[in-house]
Amino acid sequence: MAQFTVNTQRFDPYKNFKFRVVWDGQPVAGISKVSALKHTIEPVSHRDGGDRSTPRLSPGQTKFEPITLERGITHDTAFEEWATKAYSNAGDAGVSLKDFRKDMTIELYNLQGVKVRAWQVFRCWVSEFSAVPELDANANAIAFESIVIQNEGFVRDEVVTEPTET
């Protein structure tokens, strides 16, 4: 059975290093790492009195894992601006109850730069913001900033289909 319906000669899966994150209708600059999109369904154990001693399991609550985004520090303030929507030095009055949540899209591209998959992530908000990493005068590394995003679910964007590759 072919793994790809349009490009039936293809057998290698897509690479994980060509992607883009979009919120507020704009791609976010410089993101170099996105953690996995993951959900977990908590099993609920139950047993009838007449059953054998082995309990039955049924699906319970679904939990969507936080998503971590990392990028090298630049002068783009998108991470900081979103993080300060849920927390403000001005106190609770400075917090934006109106727009601290955003929907975002994570897009995956093939090696030719064509979008091959996309996921819509819903009702996201920043629960953790790392403005500056540990600084080390003896290191030779990029300074990264990161945000941890809580979310209330994701779905694959069915509009994005397998493109014909050349």
Summarised one tens digit per residue, pLDDT across range 117-147 is 999 999 999 999 999 999 999 999 999 999 9
**The pair of three-digit structure tokens given for residue 53, joined into one six-digit string:** 């001693």
**Quick one: which H or E segment has residue 79?**
helix 78-86
Its pTM stands at 0.86
Q: What is the pLDDT of residues 32-72, one digit of tens each?
A: 999 999 999 999 998 888 777 888 899 999 999 999 999 99
Nearest CA to 104 out of 21, 40, 14 is that of 21
Domain 19-48+65-156 has CATH 2.30.110.20: yes
Residue 7 has pLDDT above 80, yes or no: no
**Residue 1: what pLDDT?**
66
pLDDT (tens digit, 9 = 90+) per residue, 64-95? Answer: 999 999 999 999 999 999 998 887 777 776 77
Per domain, the residue ranges of the chain are 19-48+65-156
One-letter amino acid for residue 62 of the chain: T
- Cα(83)–Cα(72) distance, rounded to whole angstroms? 16
